[in-house]
């Protein structure tokens, strides 16, 4: 299981005097210092793919946690004290020790494939640390935090070798709170420490060789509602949103490879968010770059969609069969439907695996890195960005109006839901188009929450409700199509198809019930109050 590392780092002068840590509020005692000699070799590609994304991979001897360590940014969200936190995976030293130099464990190499993209990992830096650890404890003896006073000597590998020395202090939470971290920080800053200029020892070491060895292309700061002009905050919010989705794809990649259904879903959503954002804010982007990228994102989302849809429908119909009285389930219904989805999901998993191992996927990730770098330094008028979001919202209105104008009589389940070439002739398709428009408007509002604040967040919530209602309806459409196809095959094999028809009818009734919530959701979205932040 990954370990969550929550720590803060400080630069100090060589003659820095560590203050009395027992004066930190909440700390009842401080252990005597324990000295460790740590020797670490850091691995990366020649292009520093890991370092540029804030990821470190090392083999370290000495200390209480000797072994292989893989550290990655923990990501956005979570508790405030987890801002800047990293997740850490560990493996024993004997993994990968047969090669010289030692090779990283295969499990770690698999975790990093979305970053290495076929490039080999090799040693890029060596860091030796003389560490004095002090543990802060509570009244009951619980370890609250560990304060490490590090004297560091580092050198790079490669054609040009550079060496540097410095001293730094780390405070890592064990069972303490964010308040304790804040209190320790005040004490250290008052004593002359400074917030560290680099997020890790490796970042500091590699900066001596190649400037910018930090997270690829991210905007200078995460924009929420902080200082800066409206224009600065608006575009920075969009650029950060794009970078967040790129990071999500890379972070979720291992989970998809391991078959985690939730990772499949979230990675697909990240692709959709990116593609939608590129379309909504197209006038402010380089279309020579973003149009081909949109095609590739659609390809990847499509491959993931085959697997995700199969997983969702399999669970939906399994639950529907279980809910029926035994006497109404006639014939091998559950087995036949299970076999249908097992075959479908197996083929879809194979396609996803081939996609993630393909040069096309690596090229897509490279293009996303380039996009993030290109958008980080751009500017755009906040009013124009709002205008694009407003346009996306009006598209939702038109799609909903079209659905309402069509007959309320349920149309026959189509074999394929067509796109919107011009005139939509049935309500089912119109509702599906309204759902897609709602997603696009929601993602536009998400990207601009830094300037829209509370009103924007409320609109996002309302659009999500609309998306949920329309999504439940669409799930029923797909379920009915599956039931019809499997039921026909059962009939042709001389099985009783009664249960398939029964389930089909129940799905149709469920679809109409869920649409009963649609008018209220529509009224919420159409309120002027919900849109006032858009101008």
CATH number at residue 464: 1.40.20.10
pLDDT of residue 221: 46
- Give the pLDDT confidence score for residue 230 in this predicted structure: 65
* 96: in domain: yes
Q: How confident is the model at residue 83 (pLDDT cuts 50, 70, 90)?
A: low
The predicted model gives 280-308 an average pLDDT of 97
- Cβ density class 111-146: b for 16+ within 10 Å, e for less: bbbbbbbeeebebbbbbebebbbbbbbeeeeeebbb
How many domains are contained in the chain?
A: 2
Return the closest-CA partner of residue 321 out of 510, 151, 506, 148.
Answer: 506
Lowest mean per-residue pLDDT among 61-65, 424-428, 510-514, 526-530 = 424-428
Percent of the chain with pLDDT over 90: 79
Instruction: Specify if 247 maps to a domain.
Output: yes
Secondary structure class of 423 (helix, strand, coil): coil
pLDDT at 406: 86
207 and 213 Cβ atoms separated by less than 8 Å: yes
Residue 476, burial from CB neighbour count under 10 angstroms (0-12, 13-18, 19+): buried
Q: In this predicted structure, what is the pLDDT of residue 218?
A: 61
Domain-located, residue 218: no
What pLDDT does 226 receive? 47
Predicted confidence (pLDDT) at residue 414 exceeds the cutoff of 80: no
Same-domain status, 43 and 158: yes
Task: Kindly state whether residues 201 and 240 are assigned to the same domain.
Answer: no
* Percent of the chain clearing pLDDT 70 (strictly above): 88
Could you tell me if 86 and 192 lie in one domain?
yes
| Residues 164, 285 within the same domain | no
Whether residue 193 is contained in a domain is answered as yes
Write down the pLDDT at residue 222: 43
User: Which 8-state DSSP code applies to residue 79?
Assistant: -
Q: Is residue 119 within 8 Å of residue 46, measured between CB atoms? A: yes
Residues 110 and 253 in one domain: no
Residues 301, 202 within the same domain = no
Q: Are residues 199 and 240 in the same domain?
A: no
Looking at per-residue pLDDT, the higher value among 300 and 54 belongs to 300
User: Are 287 and 181 part of one and the same domain?
Assistant: no
Whether 213 is covered by a domain: the verdict is: no
pLDDT range class, residue 231, cuts 50, 70, 90: low
Q: What is the pLDDT of residues 340-375, one digit of tens each?
A: 999 999 999 999 999 999 999 999 999 999 999 999
User: Mean pLDDT across the chain, nearest whole number?
Assistant: 90
Q: 193-202 pLDDT, tens per residue?
A: 999 999 899 9
For the entire predicted model, the pTM comes to: 0.86
User: Three-class SS of residue 472?
Assistant: helix
Region 137-142 average pLDDT: 96
The residue range of the domain holding 52 is: 3-207
Residue 84: inside a domain? yes
> For the segment 262-274, what is each residue's pLDDT rounded down to a tens digit?
999 999 999 999 9
């Amino acid at each position: 299981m990954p370990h969550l590392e929550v720590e803060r780092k400080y630069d100090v002068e060589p003659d820095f005097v560590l203050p009395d840590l027992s004066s930190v509020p909440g700390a009842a005692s401080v252990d005597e210092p324990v000295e460790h000699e740590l020797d670490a070799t850091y691995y990366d590609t020649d292009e520093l793919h890991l370092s540029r994304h804030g990821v470190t991979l090392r083999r370290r001897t000495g200390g209480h946690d000797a072994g292989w360590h893989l550290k990655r940014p923990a990501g956005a969200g979570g508790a405030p004290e987890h801002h800047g936190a990293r997740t850490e995976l560990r493996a024993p030293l004997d993994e990968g020790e047969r090669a010289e130099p030692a090779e990283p464990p295969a499990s770690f190499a698999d975790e990093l494939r979305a970053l290495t993209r076929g490039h080999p990992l090799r040693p890029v830096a060596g860091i030796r640390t003389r560490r004095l650890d002090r543990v802060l404890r509570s009244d009951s003896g619980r370890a609250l935090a560990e304060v490490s006073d590090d004297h560091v000597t580092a050198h790079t590998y490669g054609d040009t070798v550079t060496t540097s020395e410095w001293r730094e202090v780390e405070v890592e939470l064990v069972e303490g709170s964010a308040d304790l971290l804040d209190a320790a920080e005040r004490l250290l800053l008052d004593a002359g420490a400074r917030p560290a200029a680099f997020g890790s020892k490796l970042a500091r070491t590699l900066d001596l060789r190649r400037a910018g060895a930090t997270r690829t292309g991210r905007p200078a700061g995460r924009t929420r509602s902080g200082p800066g002009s409206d224009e600065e905050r608006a575009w920075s919010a969009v650029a950060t949103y794009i970078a967040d989705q790129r990071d999500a794809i890379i972070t979720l990649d291992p989970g998809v490879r391991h078959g985690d259904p939730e990772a499949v879903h979230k990675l697909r959503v990240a692709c959709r968010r990116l593609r939608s954002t590129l379309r909504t804010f197209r006038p402010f982007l380089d279309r020579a770059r973003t149009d081909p990228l949109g095609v590739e994102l659609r390809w990847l989302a499509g491959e993931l969609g085959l697997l995700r849809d199969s997983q969702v429908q399999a669970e939906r119909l399994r639950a529907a069969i279980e809910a029926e009285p035994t006497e109404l389930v006639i014939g091998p219904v559950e087995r036949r439907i299970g076999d249908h989805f097992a075959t479908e999901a197996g083929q879809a998993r194979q396609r996803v695996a081939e996609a993630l191992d393909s040069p096309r996927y690596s090229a897509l990730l490279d293009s996303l890195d380039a996009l993030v770098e290109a958008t980080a330094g751009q500017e755009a008028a906040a009013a124009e960005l709002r205008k694009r979001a407003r346009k996306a919202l009006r598209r939702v209105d038109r799609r909903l109006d079209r659905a309402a104008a069509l007959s309320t009589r349920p149309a026959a389940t189509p074999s394929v839901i067509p796109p919107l070439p011009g005139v939509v002739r049935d309500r089912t398709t119109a509702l599906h188009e309204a759902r897609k428009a709602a997603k696009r408007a929601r993602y536009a509002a998400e990207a601009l929450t830094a300037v829209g604040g509370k009103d924007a967040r409320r609109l996002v919530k309302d659009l999500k409700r609309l998306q949920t209602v329309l999504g439940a309806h669409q799930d029923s459409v797909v379920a009915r199509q599956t039931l019809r196809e499997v039921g026909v095959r059962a009939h042709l094999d001389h099985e009783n198809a009664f249960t398939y028809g029964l389930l089909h009818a129940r799905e149709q009734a469920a679809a109409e019930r869920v649409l009963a919530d649609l008018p209220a959701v529509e009224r919420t979205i159409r309120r002027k109050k919900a849109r006032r932040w858009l101008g």
